[in-house]
A and B are shown apart, each in its own frame.
Chain A
Amino acid sequence: MYTFEEKLARRSLLKKLSAASLAALGTGAPRAWANADEVVHPAPKADSCILIWLAGGMAAPDTFDPKRYYPFEKGLEVDKILSTFPAIDTAVDHIKITKGMENIAKVMDRGTLIRSAVQPDLGHILHSRHQFHWHTGYVPPLTVAAPHLGAWMAKVLGPKNPVIPPFINIGQRLEGVGEKEELKAFTTGGFFGTEYGPMNLPYPEDAVRSVQPPEGMEPGRFANRYKHYRKLIDKNPNREWMSDFQQESMLRSMDAAHRLLQSKEKNAFDLTLEPEESKKIYDTGRFGRGCLLARRLVEEGARFVEVTTEYIPFIHWDTHENGHTTVDRLKKEIDLPVSQLILDLEKRGLLDRTLVIIASEFSRDMMIEGVPGSNAKDQSRARAEKLGEMKHYGLHRHFTGGTSVAMFGGGVKEGFLYGKTAGERPLVAVENPVSVEDLHATIYTAMGISPKTAFNVEKRPFYATKDGHGKPVMDIFA
């Protein structure tokens, strides 16, 4: 090795040379080794993200992708029917959606509709497994606990407003519902740890309780309790432990928690503070109130909020029988709150920097389970070749070949249609298919996160999109 003096001499020499050698190297942006492109986070187009999750499998032909329609009629051959709702016009000439979504139709000029999202055939077309895939980008089982989409945003971007938890999950109960363990498996910060996990608010109307003193404790007592806590910490006789890093971080977290609980931002969680008129528009049920809560949280600086219609096997969008009647009801639940959310964000000047996504784990069809050629088991409960009863009228089978995803704000094109499904069965994506990985890459890109972002866990890299391979659909950005 060189002596110290030699090193010094060489350093000064190198300094002189540095300009020249840099030029000689001709480096632009640094590139990673091997065939991977350099991980550079794209400039964010949005600062917040709201995921509206229609849990259970939203049938595209009955919502955002109208096809040949027949009204219910006894004796009608089932294979003739593609949609059970007629098409309606929207604010965009070349985009039609289905009856019952008249208010959403009015805001279609604020966003992009993707009709070609596709999901893999995972052998069994199971909700919780597809939901896991959709929310984490990975198909279970896995050797490590995969973080939720929201946890990635919390980890990479951090909170937008430091007192509002960066990942908030509205509307899904994790106890007392079917497949709850499977739901918990992806509703998590995964290997990032609980700091990046969700704040769960299953009942929007009770959300404020999560940021209030415990039930029955008046604010004065709560504040006092914490004041006494600080006093006791100060007077703790074991002074030498104060420098202990574990103890220190514990106290920091207690402080951060009490800060949120005593902040003005906590009012965002309180739906009773919303003007009556506005509350009425949103109040179609728990989901509608969830949309209102999401808006209030994003206004106050939430990073990622998911609002779900709630997954419960065979309930809500999991329409295995009586599909038409059920979806008719569900549309009443979502139509006003979703459109109002877009309008409210716009009115407040937030839509440009907020990405709103409407999605579901897969679509549905009346006749085909999975995709053509799939060996998936038929999960329909109301099956018939010819319509006999109303309960047979609906899209009752899981379909992964062509699903609709709507995106608003956050830098996406306005009034834009991307992708296309076939006009006849099978209704698969025939133009620009978008995989879960690519859809995630698109969402991450809008949020300013490279799809190749990786973190090391158990000696291996774990990527935001599977193996870092997700490619954003740049066409949908303005």
Chain B
Amino acid sequence: MSMNSFRTILILLALSGTCSPLVGADFAHEVVPILKEHCTECHGGDKAKGGFSLNTRSLFLEDDAAEPGNAAKSYFLELIEETDPEVQMPPEKKPRVPAEQIAVLKKWVDEGLAWEAGFSFGAKTWEPPLEPVKVTLPPALSGRDHPVDRILDQTLPTPPQPASDAAFLRRVTLDAIGLLPEPEELEAFLADTDPEKRTRKIDELLANDIAYADHWLTTWNDLLRNDYTGTGFITKGRTQITSWLYAALRENMPYDQFVRELISPTPDSAGFINGIKWRGDVNASQTCDIQFAQNISQVFLGINMKCASCHDSFIDRWKLSEAYNLAAIFSEQPLELNRCDKPTGEMATPKWIFPSQGDVDPAAPKAERLKQLAGLMTHPDNGRFTRTVVNRIWERLMGRGIVHPVDSMDSQPWNEDLLDYLAVRFAEDGHDLRKFIRLVMTSNAYQSQCEILDQEAGEDYTWSGPGAKRMTAEQFLDAIWQITGTHPEKPDANVDRALPDEDLVKTTTESVFEAAPVSAKWIWHEGETDKKSWLRKTVKLDKKPVAARLMATCDNYFTLRINGEDVAESKVWMNPVYIDISKWLKQGTNTFSVVAGMTGGASGFIGEILIHDGEKQTVISSDKTWQARRAKGEWAAAKELHPHGAGPWGKLLKPQFLASADLKKYPAGLTPPVRAALVKNDFLMRSLGRPHRDQVVTTRPSGLTTLQAIDLANGDILSAYLSKGAEKLMREKSGYDLGEWLYRFALSRTPTDDEKQIISEVLGDGSDPRAVEDLMWLVFMQPEFQMIR
């Protein structure tokens, strides 16, 4: 490519940003007022004098009234500038449009006649219904009787071709649990002849509670502005909802209850409505009260209250008073309306934005008001609540919302019946998110080939198949970790990912031990609780044990040494450590020493050790026979806080697993490998679009930028994964055709002959780990890998 064409590309890239430049013609603030002042009285709303209405952009452009990008050829401007009283616009008796306003209009046309998505001067042409709308399903065509197909087939007589089994498997696995299907899984799926195998696969994936939660945590962290690091934490102006959120996803909490617990929260779920509190003075439109109004409107209703937080919105119906009245439900103090950061003297009254469906009691205390609000938001008559969430999920699965962008739920969907049907069905199905995902995934529509667009779909979008989606930063990393086996060891998110007991049994093997009820106690030192406790126990063994195992955990963290050697540590109290300790024990005196730490809240250490000498099993439990001391304190008998199962912790330790598990399977404890959604943002993920969650984020950028591409070409983080992965693959996959294995894992297909030839050029004789690194890079950089089709 020549320098010149390269320059052109960069310029194109610069122009294709996500936001449109407004050099002087701001549609909402400038153009709309002019058109309202001079034109829409006769050519807007239900009036269309001379057959001309400018309610919407497409109506405006009908009959060549304007030519976007060319003011000089735009007929309506000619009429406005016309001096002949017979033909001029506005007509003779009305005031002329002043020159400076004409200039704005010209600029607006020259810049392409930008229009706010969904905006119409004909407020009556489409109004988002508030109530749920029941839809009578049209008849099935060609036996396609899934409700989604029955609706969509009406608009597209020739539906898209079904996706291949392999494409389906890759798509559905990434969409449901955010992972790639493993090569063995692909093989089994392709070989399966059961006609119901796709539905079975969907059910199997959605039943994987932990993997589902690991994946959807990303979406909900973005939506609920939840993260493990970020602004606000430093001054305690912000709290996480991670543990609550993860548990809610894992147990598939019904969505209405989920939202009620966010709006009328417990301390664990309060972080969302409390917002981020900054030290110091804050603009009136960004106080925590106003953040509350903005965030619940945006996330749960797809309503933009950001305009109305400063002034009555210019482009939709929301008013300053509505934003403040909503905020007042949350506010501890009487709330004064501020217009553009200036106090107005007017006071807000706590009030719901849809009073026709009931209201909060303004005299009630805050907690009660929030409870009432939670009830109103999730009320069965509030159809906007369910439409918003089904639209968001549809967008995640299909690449484009039925209303798009997904936050502009005031605008018209491209298929109203579809949105209405899905929303009502979702409510009927008990606000069950997984059931809803299943509903979409089981449709022929979802299981079809992706449409191919040569440019981003505009307002004239019509359904012609699911859209391709770019992997999120988390999906990209999870996939690479899957293939290279380079998962981080510890999550940063404080979440309960311990496998349920029945899953544990599946992974167990025979051993010499017998499971017995846990007799260990939660212990700490006597007296006032400090942040740290030193614990120890000395045991005399007649001979070196043939086998020995330990399970232990601590709220919040601990390290354990045996005879002076570091043996175990844990930073997540919910995930006890299970390890084989045989090799550290010896005949004679053995000392277990623990440094236990507490970072806040409850504190306690619990552990149990099984020792087998070949004849019998001995149990050593944490209890008052241990010694304990505080920092610089004297050793004394440990204090027993609670038996196992009591206190705030529940039955964390699994004796049956300790006795019989194949401890190698999950060396870091009883949890599946750590996923990207559970660790702090890093340079690579940030570069791939994981946001700094200071604000609510509802969509991720779909494009790869040049700076990102540089990071992918030479970034340290990715390079390290590749080189670690190459070593591992060469060790573990030595008997395999590596290229083929990699293609099957990464792309769910085998390479073609052409590709095989290139792969073998890269790999050479297969003995150079650098060649394997390069091959992985080549595969991971393919758009085919980074896209979900």
- What residues make up the interface of A, taking CB atoms closer than 8 Å to B? 1, 7, 10-11, 14, 17, 21, 24-27, 30-34, 38-39, 121-124, 126, 129, 139-145, 155, 158-159, 162-163, 165, 175, 179, 181-182, 184-185, 188, 191-197, 199, 209-217, 221, 224-226, 228-229, 231-233, 235-238, 240-241, 243-247, 249-261, 453-461
Residues of A within 8 A of B345 (CB): none
Contact A456 B26 (CB under 8 A): yes
9 pairs, CB–CB < 8 Å, chain A vs chain B:
A39-B23, A123-B279, A139-B283, A142-B283, A162-B6, A181-B230, A214-B715, A221-B770, A459-B304
Q: A126-B280, A129-B278, A143-B285 are in contact. Are A30 and B701 (CB under 8 A)?
A: no
**How far apart are the CA atoms of A170 and B306 in the complex, in Å?**
35
Q: Which residues of B contact A124 (CB under 8 A)?
A: 279-280
Per a CB cutoff under 8 Å, which of A162, A185, A213, A247 touches B783? A247
Q: B114 contacts which chain A residues (CB < 8 A)?
A: 456
Query: How long is the Cα–Cα vector from A159 to B436 in the complex, in angstroms?
Result: 46
**Would you call A232 and B50 a contact (CB within 8 A)?**
no
Q: Does B786 contact A (CB under 8 A)?
A: yes
Question: What's the least CB distance linking A195 to chain B, in Å?
Answer: 4
User: How many angstroms between the C-alpha atoms of A268 and B784 in the bound complex?
Assistant: 35
Tell yes or no: B195 within 8 A of A by CB: no
Q: How many residues of B contact A (CB 8 A)?
A: 118
Residues of chain B within 8 A of A455, CB atoms compared: 19-22
Closest B residue by C-beta to A257: B709
Which residues on A sit within 8 Å (CB–CB) of B281? 121-123
B787 touches A191 (CB 8 A): no
Contacts of A232 in B (CB 8 A): 755, 758, 778, 782
Closest CB in chain B relative to A36 CB, distance in Å = 8
Interface core residue of B19, B234, B778, B789 (most chain A CB under 10 Å): B19
Q: Are A141 and B291 in contact (CB under 8 A)?
A: yes
The 9 A-B residue pairs with the shortest CB-CB distance in the complex, in nearest-first order: A123-B280, A30-B103, A257-B709, A123-B281, A124-B280, A195-B705, A214-B719, A235-B754, A247-B783
The closest CB in chain A to the CB of B275 belongs to: A141
Q: Chain A residues near B456 (CB, 8 Å)?
A: 245
* Chain B: minimal CB distance from A265 (Å): 11
Write the nearest CB–CB distance from A17 to chain B, whole angstroms.
Answer: 7
- Which parts of B429-462 form the interface with A (CB within 8 Å)? 452-456
Mark B749-786 against chain A: 1 for CB-CB distance below 8 A, else 0.
00010110010011000000010001001100111101
Measured between C-beta atoms, what is the minimum distance from B155 to chain A in Å?
23
With A225-B777, A458-B304, A460-B306 given, is the CB distance from A241 to B22 under 8 Å? no
Given contacts A162-B10, A235-B755, contact A122 B280 (CB under 8 A): yes
Which chain B residues lie closer than 8 Å to A126 at the CB level?
A: 279-280
Nearest to A199 among chain B residues (CB) is B707
A250, B304: Cβ atoms closer than 8 Å: no
Question: In whole angstroms, what is the CA distance A245 to B704 when docked?
Answer: 11
Chain A residues lying within 8 Å of B304, measured Cβ to Cβ, are 458-459
Q: How far is the CB of A300 from chain B (nearest CB, A)?
A: 14
Bound form: Cα–Cα A179–B694 in Å: 14
A10 CB contact (under 8 Å) in B3, B78, B234, B407: B78
Contact in complex: A249, B703 (CB < 8 Å)? yes
Are B307 and A141 within 8 A (Cβ)? no
Q: In the complex, which residues of chain B have a beta carbon less than 8 angstroms from the beta carbon of A457?
A: 19
| Complex contact B710–A257 (CB within 8 A) | yes
Which residues of the partner chain B approach A237 to less than 8 Å between Cβ atoms? 752, 755
**Are the C-beta atoms of B781 and A231 separated by less than 8 Å?**
no
Instruction: Report B570-606 CB contacts with A as 1/0, cut-off 8 Å.
Output: 0000000000000000000000000000000000000
Cα A34 to Cα B304 with chains together (Å): 25
* Contact B306 A458, beta carbon cutoff 8 Å: yes
In the complex, the answer to whether B280 meets A254 with C-beta atoms within 8 Å is no
Question: Which B209-262 residues have a C-beta within 8 angstroms of A?
Answer: 229-231, 233-234
* Chain B residues within an 8 Å CB radius of A25: 81, 99, 102
A137: min CB distance to chain B, Å? 13
Write the chain A residue with the least CB distance to B31. A33
Taking a contact as CB atoms closer than 8 A, the residue among A185, A194, A197, A254 that contacts B713 in the complex is: A254
Which of B14, B234, B315, B692 is in CB contact (< 8 Å) with A155?
Answer: B14
**A27/B278 contact (C-beta < 8 A), A33-B33, A256-B10 known:** no
B499 adjacent to chain A (CB < 8 Å)? no
Question: Contacts A199-B710, A261-B710 given; 4 further ones with Cβ under 8 A?
Answer: A195-B17, A211-B714, A212-B714, A241-B784
**Closest approach, in angstroms, between the C-beta of B75 and any C-beta of chain A?**
7
Question: Is B159 at the interface (CB under 8 A from chain A)?
Answer: no
| B629 contacts A by Cβ under 8 Å | no
Distance of A453 Cα from B26 Cα, bound (Å): 11
CB-CB < 8 A to A141: which residues of B?
A: 231, 276, 278, 282, 286, 291, 694
Asked if B10 and A159 make an inter-chain contact with CB atoms under 8 angstroms apart, the answer reads yes
On whether the beta carbons of B782 and A181 are closer than 8 Å, the reply is no
Give the chain B neighbours of A139 by CB distance below 8 A.
282-283
B704's partner among A31, A216, A250, A261 (CB-CB below 8 A) is A250
Complex CA distance for A418 and B170, rounded to whole angstroms: 65
Report the Cα distance A163→B4, complex, angstroms: 12
B695 part of interface (Cβ distance < 8 Å): yes
A97 to B599, CA, bound (A): 50
Nearest CB of chain A from residue B389's CB, rounded to whole Å: 20
B713 touches A258 (CB 8 A): yes
Cα–Cα distance between A140 and B774 once the two chains are bound (Å): 43
